[in-house]
Structure 1
Amino acid sequence: MHSFGYRANALLTFALTILALMCAIASFSDNFNFPSPSAQIQIVKFNWFQKQVHGNDEVSLTMNITADLQSLFTWNTKQLFIFVAAEYETPQNSLNQVQIGVRNLKCLSGMLLYLPKSMRNFGFKLQTSTVLLIREAIFVVRNST
Structure 2
Amino acid sequence: MVEWLNTSLASLPLPSFIVLIKQRERVEETLKMHSFGYRANALLTFAVTILALMCAMASLTDNFNSPSTSAQVQVLNINWFQKQPNGNDEVSMTLNISADLQSLFTWNTKQVFVFLAAEYETPKNFLNQISLWDGIIPSKEHAKFWIHTSNKYRFIDQGSNLRGKEYNLTMHWHVMPKTGKMFADKIVMPGYRLPEEYR
In structure 2, how many angstroms separate the alpha carbons of the residues matched to 1:32 and 1:97? 31
* AA aligned opposite 1:31: N
SS of match in other structure, 1:109: helix
Equivalence map 1:17-96=2 (5 Å): 18-96=50-128
Write the deviation string for residues 15-38 of structure 1: whole angstroms up to 9, x where unpaired: 666555444433322221122221
Work out whether residues 50 and 58 of structure 1, in 8 Å CA contact, stay in contact via their aligned partners in 2.
yes
Q: Identity rate of aligned residues, in percent?
A: 48
Q: Secondary structure at the match of 2:109?
A: coil
Quick one: higher RCO (CA 8 Å, sep 6+), 1 or 2? 1
CA RMSD in angstroms comes to: 2.6
In terms of fraction of residues, the more strand-rich structure is 1
Q: Distance in 2 between matches of 1:68 and 1:107?
A: 12
Q: How many residues align?
A: 141
The AA in structure 2 aligned to 1:131 is: L
Distance 1:52 1:19 in 2: 57
In 2: Cα distance, 1:16 partner to 1:130 partner: 57
**Conserved in 2, the CA contact under 8 Å of 1:86 and 1:100?**
yes
Query: C-alpha deviations, 1:50-89, integer Å up to 9, x for none?
Result: 1112112111111111100111112122111111000011
1:97 CA displacement: 0.6
Q: What are the ranges of 5 or more consecutive residues in structure 1 without an aligned counterpart?
A: none
2:136 is the counterpart of 1:104: yes
Q: Contact (CA 8 Å) 1:124, 1:131: kept in 2 or not?
A: no
**In 2, Cα distance between the equivalents of 1:77 and 1:30?**
9
* Larger helix fraction of residues: 2
TM normalised by structure 2 equals 0.60
Compare CA radii of gyration and give the structure with the larger one: 2
Question: Which residue number in structure 1 is paired with residue 169 of structure 2?
Answer: 139
